[in-house]
Structure 1
Protein backbone atom coordinates (compact mmCIF):
# COMPACT_ATOMS: atom_id res chain seq x y z
CA UNK A 1 0.00 0.00 0.00
CA UNK A 2 1.37 3.37 -1.04
CA UNK A 3 0.29 6.89 -0.07
CA UNK A 4 0.67 10.09 -2.02
CA UNK A 5 0.12 13.60 -0.64
CA UNK A 6 -1.13 16.41 -2.88
CA UNK A 7 -1.17 20.11 -2.13
CA UNK A 8 -4.53 20.80 -3.81
CA UNK A 9 -7.60 18.93 -5.02
CA UNK A 10 -6.64 19.72 -8.60
CA UNK A 11 -3.19 18.21 -8.09
CA UNK A 12 -4.84 15.12 -6.62
CA UNK A 13 -7.27 14.86 -9.56
CA UNK A 14 -4.48 15.17 -12.14
CA UNK A 15 -2.23 12.60 -10.45
CA UNK A 16 -5.13 10.19 -10.00
CA UNK A 17 -6.21 10.50 -13.64
CA UNK A 18 -2.67 9.75 -14.82
CA UNK A 19 -2.36 6.73 -12.50
CA UNK A 20 -5.77 5.30 -13.42
CA UNK A 21 -4.93 5.72 -17.10
CA UNK A 22 -1.66 3.84 -16.65
CA UNK A 23 -3.44 1.05 -14.75
CA UNK A 24 -5.98 0.70 -17.57
CA UNK A 25 -3.18 0.57 -20.14
CA UNK A 26 -1.49 -2.25 -18.23
CA UNK A 27 -4.71 -4.25 -17.88
CA UNK A 28 -5.39 -3.89 -21.60
CA UNK A 29 -1.87 -5.03 -22.49
CA UNK A 30 -2.27 -8.11 -20.31
CA UNK A 31 -5.89 -9.06 -21.02
CA UNK A 32 -6.87 -7.23 -24.19
CA UNK A 33 -9.54 -5.33 -22.26
CA UNK A 34 -10.10 -3.61 -18.90
CA UNK A 35 -13.03 -3.11 -16.54
CA UNK A 36 -12.98 0.18 -14.62
CA UNK A 37 -15.33 0.61 -11.62
CA UNK A 38 -15.61 4.19 -10.36
CA UNK A 39 -17.26 5.89 -7.43
CA UNK A 40 -19.97 8.51 -7.65
CA UNK A 41 -20.81 11.72 -5.89
CA UNK A 42 -19.22 15.04 -6.75
CA UNK A 43 -15.69 14.33 -5.51
CA UNK A 44 -14.51 12.31 -8.55
CA UNK A 45 -15.68 14.90 -11.12
CA UNK A 46 -12.34 16.77 -11.45
CA UNK A 47 -10.55 13.47 -11.95
CA UNK A 48 -13.10 12.30 -14.54
CA UNK A 49 -12.70 15.53 -16.49
CA UNK A 50 -8.98 14.77 -16.79
CA UNK A 51 -9.18 11.01 -17.24
CA UNK A 52 -11.49 11.29 -20.25
CA UNK A 53 -8.65 12.89 -22.24
CA UNK A 54 -6.04 10.26 -21.35
CA UNK A 55 -4.69 8.31 -24.36
CA UNK A 56 -6.18 5.01 -23.26
CA UNK A 57 -7.60 2.46 -25.72
CA UNK A 58 -11.07 3.36 -24.53
CA UNK A 59 -12.76 1.04 -27.01
CA UNK A 60 -11.24 -1.82 -24.95
CA UNK A 61 -12.56 -0.44 -21.64
CA UNK A 62 -15.84 -1.19 -19.89
CA UNK A 63 -16.78 1.45 -17.34
CA UNK A 64 -19.12 0.61 -14.49
CA UNK A 65 -19.76 1.82 -10.96
CA UNK A 66 -18.62 0.74 -7.54
CA UNK A 67 -22.03 1.70 -6.19
CA UNK A 68 -25.23 3.46 -7.15
CA UNK A 69 -28.18 5.14 -5.52
CA UNK A 70 -31.44 3.42 -6.43
CA UNK A 71 -32.87 6.30 -8.46
CA UNK A 72 -33.85 6.66 -12.13
CA UNK A 73 -30.90 7.12 -14.52
CA UNK A 74 -31.93 10.75 -15.18
CA UNK A 75 -32.25 11.63 -11.47
CA UNK A 76 -29.86 14.36 -10.21
CA UNK A 77 -28.50 11.91 -7.60
CA UNK A 78 -27.68 9.19 -10.13
CA UNK A 79 -24.02 8.22 -10.13
CA UNK A 80 -24.51 6.80 -13.61
CA UNK A 81 -25.74 10.15 -14.85
CA UNK A 82 -22.68 11.82 -13.35
CA UNK A 83 -20.36 9.33 -15.12
CA UNK A 84 -22.08 9.93 -18.45
CA UNK A 85 -21.84 13.70 -18.04
CA UNK A 86 -18.23 13.94 -16.87
CA UNK A 87 -16.31 10.81 -17.93
CA UNK A 88 -17.88 9.20 -21.00
CA UNK A 89 -16.99 12.06 -23.33
CA UNK A 90 -14.11 13.05 -25.62
CA UNK A 91 -11.64 10.13 -25.86
CA UNK A 92 -13.57 8.09 -23.29
CA UNK A 93 -16.82 8.26 -25.27
CA UNK A 94 -15.86 5.00 -27.02
CA UNK A 95 -15.82 3.03 -23.75
CA UNK A 96 -18.69 0.64 -23.00
CA UNK A 97 -20.82 1.49 -19.96
CA UNK A 98 -22.67 -0.86 -17.60
CA UNK A 99 -25.10 1.06 -15.36
CA UNK A 100 -26.08 -0.39 -12.01
CA UNK A 101 -29.66 0.88 -12.31
CA UNK A 102 -30.90 0.57 -15.88
CA UNK A 103 -34.58 1.55 -15.77
CA UNK A 104 -37.70 2.22 -13.71
CA UNK A 105 -38.30 -1.49 -13.10
CA UNK A 106 -34.94 -1.77 -11.32
CA UNK A 107 -35.71 1.35 -9.28
CA UNK A 108 -38.93 -0.28 -8.11
CA UNK A 109 -37.19 -3.59 -7.40
CA UNK A 110 -33.40 -3.19 -7.02
CA UNK A 111 -33.01 -6.94 -6.55
CA UNK A 112 -33.61 -7.14 -10.31
CA UNK A 113 -30.56 -4.95 -10.88
CA UNK A 114 -28.46 -7.12 -8.59
CA UNK A 115 -29.58 -10.28 -10.39
CA UNK A 116 -28.72 -8.77 -13.80
CA UNK A 117 -25.32 -7.53 -12.64
CA UNK A 118 -24.32 -10.73 -10.88
CA UNK A 119 -25.41 -12.94 -13.76
CA UNK A 120 -23.01 -11.10 -16.10
CA UNK A 121 -20.46 -10.11 -13.45
CA UNK A 122 -17.00 -9.16 -14.67
CA UNK A 123 -14.37 -8.55 -12.04
CA UNK A 124 -13.19 -4.94 -12.21
CA UNK A 125 -9.49 -4.66 -12.99
CA UNK A 126 -9.21 -1.07 -11.74
CA UNK A 127 -11.31 0.40 -8.93
CA UNK A 128 -11.51 4.04 -7.85
CA UNK A 129 -12.94 4.56 -4.36
CA UNK A 130 -13.82 7.43 -2.10
CA UNK A 131 -14.51 7.44 1.63
CA UNK A 132 -17.08 9.15 3.84
CA UNK A 133 -16.48 10.75 7.22
CA UNK A 134 -18.30 7.75 8.75
CA UNK A 135 -15.69 5.40 7.26
CA UNK A 136 -17.88 3.97 4.51
CA UNK A 137 -16.48 3.17 1.10
CA UNK A 138 -18.50 2.11 -1.92
CA UNK A 139 -21.94 1.80 -0.23
CA UNK A 140 -20.62 -0.31 2.63
CA UNK A 141 -22.05 1.87 5.38
CA UNK A 142 -21.44 1.05 9.05
CA UNK A 143 -25.16 1.33 9.82
CA UNK A 144 -26.40 -0.76 6.88
CA UNK A 145 -28.10 -4.02 7.96
CA UNK A 146 -26.42 -5.80 5.05
CA UNK A 147 -22.87 -4.80 6.03
CA UNK A 148 -21.88 -8.18 7.46
CA UNK A 149 -23.11 -9.99 4.37
CA UNK A 150 -21.20 -7.55 2.16
CA UNK A 151 -18.01 -8.14 4.14
CA UNK A 152 -18.26 -11.91 4.55
CA UNK A 153 -19.57 -13.27 1.22
CA UNK A 154 -16.57 -14.84 -0.59
CA UNK A 155 -18.27 -14.52 -3.99
CA UNK A 156 -17.48 -11.20 -5.71
CA UNK A 157 -20.56 -9.34 -6.84
CA UNK A 158 -23.22 -6.78 -6.04
CA UNK A 159 -25.85 -6.50 -3.34
CA UNK A 160 -28.48 -4.05 -2.09
CA UNK A 161 -27.77 -2.02 1.06
CA UNK A 162 -30.07 0.20 3.13
CA UNK A 163 -27.93 2.83 4.93
CA UNK A 164 -29.94 4.56 7.63
CA UNK A 165 -27.95 7.80 7.65
CA UNK A 166 -27.69 8.32 3.88
CA UNK A 167 -30.35 9.05 1.28
CA UNK A 168 -31.57 6.32 -1.05
CA UNK A 169 -31.26 2.55 -1.08
CA UNK A 170 -27.98 1.52 -2.72
CA UNK A 171 -26.56 -1.16 -5.00
CA UNK A 172 -22.89 -1.81 -4.27
CA UNK A 173 -19.95 -4.08 -4.89
CA UNK A 174 -19.14 -6.32 -1.93
CA UNK A 175 -15.77 -6.60 -0.24
CA UNK A 176 -14.71 -9.67 -2.25
CA UNK A 177 -15.18 -7.74 -5.50
CA UNK A 178 -13.25 -4.74 -4.20
CA UNK A 179 -10.39 -6.97 -3.08
CA UNK A 180 -10.36 -8.74 -6.45
CA UNK A 181 -9.21 -5.68 -8.39
CA UNK A 182 -5.62 -5.66 -9.63
CA UNK A 183 -5.32 -1.94 -8.87
CA UNK A 184 -7.33 0.06 -6.37
CA UNK A 185 -7.15 3.80 -5.80
CA UNK A 186 -8.62 5.45 -2.71
CA UNK A 187 -9.03 9.24 -2.91
CA UNK A 188 -9.38 11.11 0.39
CA UNK A 189 -9.60 14.88 0.77
CA UNK A 190 -9.83 17.20 3.74
CA UNK A 191 -8.67 17.16 7.34
CA UNK A 192 -11.65 15.30 8.80
CA UNK A 193 -11.51 12.47 6.28
CA UNK A 194 -7.76 12.32 6.78
CA UNK A 195 -8.30 11.68 10.49
CA UNK A 196 -10.83 8.95 9.72
CA UNK A 197 -8.37 7.31 7.34
CA UNK A 198 -5.63 7.40 9.97
CA UNK A 199 -7.95 5.63 12.43
CA UNK A 200 -8.90 3.07 9.78
CA UNK A 201 -5.24 2.25 9.19
CA UNK A 202 -4.85 1.26 12.84
CA UNK A 203 -6.73 -1.99 12.27
CA UNK A 204 -9.97 -3.55 10.99
CA UNK A 205 -13.23 -2.59 12.69
CA UNK A 206 -16.77 -2.86 11.28
CA UNK A 207 -17.49 0.64 12.63
CA UNK A 208 -15.14 1.87 9.87
CA UNK A 209 -15.82 -0.38 6.87
CA UNK A 210 -12.91 1.10 4.91
CA UNK A 211 -10.60 -0.33 7.59
CA UNK A 212 -11.66 -3.87 6.60
CA UNK A 213 -10.67 -3.14 3.02
CA UNK A 214 -7.31 -1.71 4.07
CA UNK A 215 -6.55 -4.67 6.33
CA UNK A 216 -7.33 -7.28 3.69
CA UNK A 217 -6.00 -5.82 0.45
CA UNK A 218 -3.17 -7.85 -1.07
CA UNK A 219 -2.81 -6.28 -4.52
CA UNK A 220 -1.89 -2.84 -5.82
CA UNK A 221 -3.49 -0.26 -3.52
CA UNK A 222 -2.71 3.45 -3.65
CA UNK A 223 -4.09 6.19 -1.40
CA UNK A 224 -4.25 9.71 -2.83
CA UNK A 225 -4.62 12.38 -0.14
CA UNK A 226 -5.28 16.07 -0.55
Structure 2
Protein backbone atom coordinates (compact mmCIF):
# COMPACT_ATOMS: atom_id res chain seq x y z
CA UNK A 1 0.00 0.00 0.00
CA UNK A 2 1.45 3.38 -0.93
CA UNK A 3 0.46 6.97 -0.61
CA UNK A 4 -0.52 8.70 -3.84
CA UNK A 5 -0.72 12.33 -4.85
CA UNK A 6 -0.96 13.11 -8.56
CA UNK A 7 -2.94 15.49 -10.70
CA UNK A 8 -5.96 13.15 -10.82
CA UNK A 9 -5.41 10.90 -7.82
CA UNK A 10 -5.62 13.04 -4.74
CA UNK A 11 -5.36 10.93 -1.60
CA UNK A 12 -3.05 9.89 1.22
CA UNK A 13 -3.23 6.87 3.50
CA UNK A 14 -2.67 6.68 7.25
CA UNK A 15 -2.45 3.09 8.43
CA UNK A 16 -3.21 1.53 11.81
CA UNK A 17 -3.03 -2.04 13.01
CA UNK A 18 -6.35 -1.91 14.87
CA UNK A 19 -9.59 0.04 14.91
CA UNK A 20 -8.75 1.39 18.38
CA UNK A 21 -5.45 2.79 17.10
CA UNK A 22 -7.22 4.29 14.10
CA UNK A 23 -9.86 5.92 16.29
CA UNK A 24 -7.15 7.49 18.46
CA UNK A 25 -5.53 8.93 15.32
CA UNK A 26 -8.84 10.34 14.13
CA UNK A 27 -9.80 11.81 17.50
CA UNK A 28 -6.49 13.65 17.64
CA UNK A 29 -6.94 14.92 14.08
CA UNK A 30 -10.51 16.13 14.69
CA UNK A 31 -9.59 17.76 17.99
CA UNK A 32 -6.88 19.83 16.34
CA UNK A 33 -9.07 20.74 13.34
CA UNK A 34 -11.94 21.83 15.58
CA UNK A 35 -9.70 23.87 17.85
CA UNK A 36 -8.13 25.65 14.86
CA UNK A 37 -11.55 26.43 13.38
CA UNK A 38 -12.97 27.81 16.62
CA UNK A 39 -9.87 29.95 17.14
CA UNK A 40 -9.98 31.33 13.59
CA UNK A 41 -13.71 31.91 13.03
CA UNK A 42 -15.51 31.20 16.28
CA UNK A 43 -17.16 27.89 15.34
CA UNK A 44 -16.42 24.54 13.72
CA UNK A 45 -18.42 22.26 11.44
CA UNK A 46 -18.28 18.48 11.46
CA UNK A 47 -20.06 16.36 8.83
CA UNK A 48 -20.27 12.67 9.71
CA UNK A 49 -21.47 9.46 8.10
CA UNK A 50 -23.53 6.62 9.54
CA UNK A 51 -23.24 2.87 9.59
CA UNK A 52 -21.48 0.63 12.09
CA UNK A 53 -17.92 1.80 11.31
CA UNK A 54 -17.90 5.20 13.07
CA UNK A 55 -19.76 4.18 16.24
CA UNK A 56 -16.61 3.70 18.32
CA UNK A 57 -15.12 6.89 16.93
CA UNK A 58 -18.24 8.83 17.89
CA UNK A 59 -18.04 7.53 21.44
CA UNK A 60 -14.37 8.46 21.68
CA UNK A 61 -15.00 11.92 20.27
CA UNK A 62 -17.85 12.56 22.70
CA UNK A 63 -15.44 12.38 25.61
CA UNK A 64 -12.98 14.82 24.06
CA UNK A 65 -12.66 18.09 25.96
CA UNK A 66 -13.58 20.68 23.31
CA UNK A 67 -15.80 23.73 23.26
CA UNK A 68 -18.60 21.64 21.77
CA UNK A 69 -21.12 24.47 22.14
CA UNK A 70 -19.37 26.07 19.17
CA UNK A 71 -19.41 22.90 17.04
CA UNK A 72 -22.10 22.28 14.42
CA UNK A 73 -22.63 18.63 13.51
CA UNK A 74 -24.62 17.33 10.58
CA UNK A 75 -24.77 14.25 8.35
CA UNK A 76 -23.28 13.45 4.96
CA UNK A 77 -26.38 11.37 4.30
CA UNK A 78 -29.44 9.93 5.98
CA UNK A 79 -32.05 7.24 5.52
CA UNK A 80 -35.60 8.55 5.21
CA UNK A 81 -36.79 6.93 8.43
CA UNK A 82 -37.99 8.36 11.77
CA UNK A 83 -35.26 9.33 14.21
CA UNK A 84 -36.47 6.58 16.53
CA UNK A 85 -35.64 3.93 13.91
CA UNK A 86 -32.41 1.97 14.44
CA UNK A 87 -31.53 2.67 10.79
CA UNK A 88 -31.47 6.41 11.47
CA UNK A 89 -28.04 8.03 11.27
CA UNK A 90 -29.39 10.85 13.44
CA UNK A 91 -30.16 8.32 16.16
CA UNK A 92 -26.64 6.90 15.84
CA UNK A 93 -25.13 10.37 16.23
CA UNK A 94 -27.35 11.39 19.13
CA UNK A 95 -26.82 8.10 20.99
CA UNK A 96 -23.04 7.96 20.52
CA UNK A 97 -21.56 11.34 19.57
CA UNK A 98 -23.84 13.94 21.17
CA UNK A 99 -23.11 12.61 24.65
CA UNK A 100 -20.71 13.48 27.49
CA UNK A 101 -18.74 16.66 26.60
CA UNK A 102 -20.36 16.74 23.15
CA UNK A 103 -23.92 16.81 24.51
CA UNK A 104 -23.94 20.59 24.02
CA UNK A 105 -22.95 20.44 20.34
CA UNK A 106 -25.36 21.88 17.77
CA UNK A 107 -26.75 18.92 15.81
CA UNK A 108 -28.65 19.66 12.59
CA UNK A 109 -30.42 16.55 11.21
CA UNK A 110 -30.61 15.93 7.49
CA UNK A 111 -34.03 14.26 7.44
CA UNK A 112 -37.23 15.33 9.16
CA UNK A 113 -40.47 13.45 8.60
CA UNK A 114 -42.82 14.96 6.01
CA UNK A 115 -40.18 17.52 4.98
CA UNK A 116 -39.50 18.05 1.28
CA UNK A 117 -36.02 18.36 -0.23
CA UNK A 118 -36.66 22.05 -0.77
CA UNK A 119 -37.68 22.53 2.86
CA UNK A 120 -34.58 20.64 4.00
CA UNK A 121 -32.35 22.93 1.94
CA UNK A 122 -34.15 25.98 3.33
CA UNK A 123 -33.73 24.70 6.89
CA UNK A 124 -29.99 24.25 6.33
CA UNK A 125 -29.81 27.78 4.97
CA UNK A 126 -31.06 29.00 8.36
CA UNK A 127 -27.69 27.88 9.79
CA UNK A 128 -25.10 30.14 8.14
CA UNK A 129 -22.35 28.00 9.65
CA UNK A 130 -23.43 25.13 7.39
CA UNK A 131 -23.28 27.32 4.30
CA UNK A 132 -19.56 27.96 4.70
CA UNK A 133 -16.70 25.62 3.90
CA UNK A 134 -16.90 22.66 6.27
CA UNK A 135 -14.03 21.99 8.65
CA UNK A 136 -14.17 18.17 8.63
CA UNK A 137 -16.16 15.79 6.43
CA UNK A 138 -16.16 12.09 7.28
CA UNK A 139 -17.02 9.71 4.47
CA UNK A 140 -17.64 6.00 4.62
CA UNK A 141 -17.64 3.46 1.79
CA UNK A 142 -19.80 0.44 1.10
CA UNK A 143 -18.76 -2.80 -0.50
CA UNK A 144 -20.32 -1.57 -3.77
CA UNK A 145 -18.09 1.55 -3.64
CA UNK A 146 -20.94 3.90 -2.73
CA UNK A 147 -20.20 6.81 -0.45
CA UNK A 148 -22.58 9.07 1.46
CA UNK A 149 -25.86 7.94 -0.16
CA UNK A 150 -24.55 8.16 -3.70
CA UNK A 151 -25.06 4.63 -5.04
CA UNK A 152 -23.83 3.11 -8.32
CA UNK A 153 -27.33 2.04 -9.43
CA UNK A 154 -29.19 5.20 -8.38
CA UNK A 155 -30.80 7.27 -11.12
CA UNK A 156 -29.68 10.34 -9.17
CA UNK A 157 -26.02 9.26 -9.09
CA UNK A 158 -24.73 11.54 -11.83
CA UNK A 159 -26.68 14.51 -10.49
CA UNK A 160 -25.26 13.95 -7.01
CA UNK A 161 -21.72 13.76 -8.43
CA UNK A 162 -22.02 16.71 -10.83
CA UNK A 163 -19.51 19.39 -9.81
CA UNK A 164 -21.39 22.05 -11.80
CA UNK A 165 -24.60 21.55 -9.81
CA UNK A 166 -25.66 24.12 -7.22
CA UNK A 167 -27.83 21.56 -5.39
CA UNK A 168 -26.42 20.74 -1.97
CA UNK A 169 -28.92 18.10 -0.76
CA UNK A 170 -30.61 15.48 -2.92
CA UNK A 171 -33.08 12.64 -2.37
CA UNK A 172 -31.84 9.35 -3.82
CA UNK A 173 -33.14 5.84 -4.39
CA UNK A 174 -30.23 3.39 -3.93
CA UNK A 175 -32.22 0.76 -5.90
CA UNK A 176 -30.27 -2.14 -4.41
CA UNK A 177 -31.31 -1.45 -0.80
CA UNK A 178 -34.11 0.31 1.06
CA UNK A 179 -35.14 2.88 2.19
CA UNK A 180 -34.88 6.14 0.24
CA UNK A 181 -32.07 8.47 1.31
CA UNK A 182 -31.06 12.09 1.49
CA UNK A 183 -27.46 12.86 0.63
CA UNK A 184 -25.25 15.87 0.48
CA UNK A 185 -23.86 16.15 -3.02
CA UNK A 186 -20.26 15.79 -4.17
CA UNK A 187 -19.61 19.52 -4.70
CA UNK A 188 -20.94 20.28 -1.21
CA UNK A 189 -18.97 17.50 0.48
CA UNK A 190 -15.77 18.51 -1.29
CA UNK A 191 -16.18 22.07 0.00
CA UNK A 192 -14.27 21.27 3.17
CA UNK A 193 -10.90 21.92 4.77
CA UNK A 194 -10.49 18.23 5.62
CA UNK A 195 -11.97 15.24 3.76
CA UNK A 196 -11.57 11.95 5.64
CA UNK A 197 -12.45 8.36 4.76
CA UNK A 198 -12.51 5.72 7.49
CA UNK A 199 -11.89 2.16 6.26
CA UNK A 200 -11.62 -0.98 8.38
CA UNK A 201 -10.58 -4.44 7.21
CA UNK A 202 -8.82 -5.85 4.17
CA UNK A 203 -12.12 -6.37 2.34
CA UNK A 204 -12.80 -2.64 2.34
CA UNK A 205 -9.21 -1.90 1.39
CA UNK A 206 -9.46 -4.26 -1.58
CA UNK A 207 -12.56 -2.43 -2.82
CA UNK A 208 -10.97 0.98 -2.32
CA UNK A 209 -7.62 0.16 -3.91
CA UNK A 210 -9.29 -1.58 -6.83
CA UNK A 211 -11.49 1.42 -7.53
CA UNK A 212 -8.60 3.84 -7.06
CA UNK A 213 -6.48 1.96 -9.58
CA UNK A 214 -9.23 1.40 -12.13
CA UNK A 215 -10.67 4.94 -11.94
CA UNK A 216 -14.17 3.72 -12.79
CA UNK A 217 -16.44 6.81 -12.88
CA UNK A 218 -19.66 4.90 -12.13
CA UNK A 219 -18.29 3.84 -8.74
CA UNK A 220 -19.11 6.92 -6.61
CA UNK A 221 -16.11 6.74 -4.29
CA UNK A 222 -13.92 7.03 -7.41
CA UNK A 223 -14.97 10.61 -7.88
CA UNK A 224 -13.88 11.51 -4.35
CA UNK A 225 -10.48 9.89 -5.04
CA UNK A 226 -9.79 11.16 -8.55
CA UNK A 227 -10.30 14.88 -8.01
CA UNK A 228 -8.04 17.78 -7.14
CA UNK A 229 -10.40 19.95 -5.10
CA UNK A 230 -9.31 18.69 -1.67
CA UNK A 231 -7.00 15.78 -0.73
CA UNK A 232 -8.86 12.68 0.45
CA UNK A 233 -7.25 11.51 3.68
CA UNK A 234 -7.80 7.76 4.08
CA UNK A 235 -7.51 6.25 7.55
CA UNK A 236 -7.20 2.47 7.23
CA UNK A 237 -7.23 -0.08 10.06
CA UNK A 238 -6.21 -3.63 9.19
CA UNK A 239 -8.27 -5.23 11.95
CA UNK A 240 -11.52 -4.41 13.70
TM-score by structure 2 length? 0.87
* CA-based RMSD: 1.8
Higher relative contact order (CA 8 A, sep 6+): 2
Instruction: State which of 105, 109, 124 in structure 1 corresponds to 2:114.
Output: 105
Q: Does 1:174 align with 2:185?
A: yes
Partner Cα separation in structure 1 for residue 121 and residue 229 of structure 2: 26
Partner Cα separation in structure 1 for residue 43 and residue 24 of structure 2: 23
Partner Cα separation in structure 2 for residue 180 and residue 44 of structure 1: 21
Instruction: State which of 192, 196, 204 in structure 2 corresponds to 1:193.
Output: 204
Cα-to-partner distance string for 1:20-72 (whole Å, 9 max, x where unaligned): 12111122222111111000111100001111112222111000000000001
Cα-to-partner distance string for 1:77-115 (whole Å, 9 max, x where unaligned): 10001100000011111110100112x323xx5554345
Instruction: State which of 141, 166, 173 in structure 2 corresponds to 1:155.
Output: 166
Unaligned runs of 5+ in 1: none
Instruction: State which of 102, 116, 126 in structure 1 corresponds to 2:123.
Output: 116
What is the number of equivalent residue pairs in this alignment?
223
State the SS of the aligned residue for 1:182. Answer: coil
* Counterpart contact for 1:114–1:171, Cα < 8 Å: no
TM-score by structure 1 length? 0.92
Partner Cα separation in structure 2 for residue 25 and residue 111 of structure 1: 33
Deviation at 1:154, TM superposition (A): 3.4
Q: Does 1:222 align with 2:229?
A: no
Deviation at 1:200, TM superposition (A): 2.4
State the SS of the aligned residue for 2:131. Answer: coil
* Counterpart contact for 1:129–1:185, Cα < 8 Å: yes
Q: Partner residue of 1:165?
A: 176
Unaligned runs of 5+ in 2: 1-10
Structure 1: 4+ residue segments shifted above 4 A: 118-121
Superposed, 1:1-226 pairs within 5 Å as 1-102=11-112, 104-106=113-115, 109=116, 112-117=119-124, 120=127, 121-123=130-132, 124-152=134-162, 153-155=164-166, 157-202=168-213, 204-226=215-237
Partner Cα separation in structure 2 for residue 110 and residue 97 of structure 1: 19
* Between 141-150 and 114-123, the greater mean CA deviation after superposition: 114-123
